[in-house]
Amino acid sequence: MINKNTSLRMQSIVFIGFMGVGKTTIGQKVARKLYRDFIDIDQEIEKEFNMPTTEIFKKFGEKAFREKEKSVIESLSQQQLKIISVGGGAFLQEDIRNICLSNCIVFYLDLSWEYWKERIGLLIDSRPVLQSRSLEEIEELFYTRQEIYSYHHSKVNTNDLDVDEVADFIVDSLKVAWDIYEPLK
Ligand SMILES: Nc1ncnc2c1ncn2[C@@H]1O[C@H](COP(=O)(O)OP(=O)(O)O)[C@@H](O)[C@H]1O
Ligand SMILES: O=C(O)C1=C[C@@H](OP(=O)(O)O)[C@@H](O)[C@H](O)C1
Ligand SMILES: [Mg+2]
């Protein structure tokens, strides 16, 4: 489903995966390593509403957040040469999946539940989707959500890798893919 009209080297990279797997942190690192601009979709949504995500959910509801998420991604994923981190719920929307998969290289950051659950304390205050749920319910959501992350072009399992190791792996694998599919003359 990769767009055949755009050079692979020009395509933006989109990071997907469950809340807290590191999309924002690793996206920033990869952007720095590839000298590209970084866009975090949640930060763009927060700028538009001029408030944090937890407030958006409280004041306007999840539906308003999802509508804005879709319009922001539809517009920004058309740009080339960007590194884009989308929120963990973005791929619930088929339109978002399709636009990202056809315009960009979609990288899935995979982390096992046993590792993920150690991070919950870092996440709970800023992730409204986690706030109303018990640990058992979060685990169920974690496994249910895996289906939407199966839509990707490339994947890395980040268990036991620090942020720099993950970013280096991604940059190296992108360079290999670019060289194989579009060798420089
Ligand atoms: N590979 C990693 N190893 C350890 N901690 C990580 C790793 N990647 C991210 N983190 C930490 O996990 C937390 C969530 O990361 P974040 O980038 O906000 O995730 P996401 O954007 O996927 O929700 C942050 O505190 C971040 O420092
Ligand atoms: O998975 C989700 O439903 C969400 C993930 C969050 O982004 P991160 O995946 O960057 O935490 C953010 O978009 C919002 O809180 C909803
Ligand atoms: Mg994020």
The complex's ipTM? 0.99
List, for the chain, all residue ranges whose pLDDT scores fall below the cut of 70. Answer: 1-5
User: Which tens digits make up the pLDDT trace of 142-168?
Assistant: 999 999 999 999 999 999 999 999 999
Q: Is residue 2 part of a domain?
A: no
Residue 140 in domain: yes
Of 183, 165, 164, 163, nearest in space to 175 by CA: 183
Domain of residue 144, residue span: 8-181
- Ligand 2 pocket, 87 CB below 6 A? yes
Instruction: Give the residue among 143, 118, 121 at the shortest CA–CA distance from 131.
Output: 121
pLDDT of 64 reads 98
Query: Among 127, 132, 158, which residue has the most ligand 2 atoms within 8 Å of its CB, making it the best to mutate?
Result: 127
CATH number for 104:
3.40.50.300
Q: How far apart are CA 63 and CA 4, in angstroms?
A: 33
Residue 3 lies in a domain: no
Q: How far is it, in rounded angstroms, from Cα 7 to Cα 38?
A: 19
H-helix or E-strand spanning residue 15: strand 13-16
Backbone angles phi, psi at 111, to 5 degrees: -140, 135
- In three-state secondary structure terms, 39 is strand
Q: How many domains does the chain have?
A: 1
Does any domain span residue 1? Answer: no
How many CB atoms are located within 10 Å of the residue 22 CB? 21
Q: How confident is the model over 26-38, as pLDDT tens digits?
A: 999 999 999 999 9
- Calculate how far, in angstroms, residue 21's C-alpha sits from the geometric centre of ligand 3: 8
Q: Which atom of ligand 2 is nearest to the CA of 24?
A: 10
- What are the beta bridge partners of residue 106? 14
- Where does ligand 1 bind, in terms of residues with CB under 6 Å? 17, 19-26, 85, 119, 122, 158, 161-163, 166
Q: Does 38 fall in a domain? A: yes
- CA of 88 from ligand 2 middle (Å) equals 4
Whole-angstrom distance, CA of residue 108 vs CA of residue 158? 10
In 49-150, which ranges are E strands?
A: 82-85, 105-110
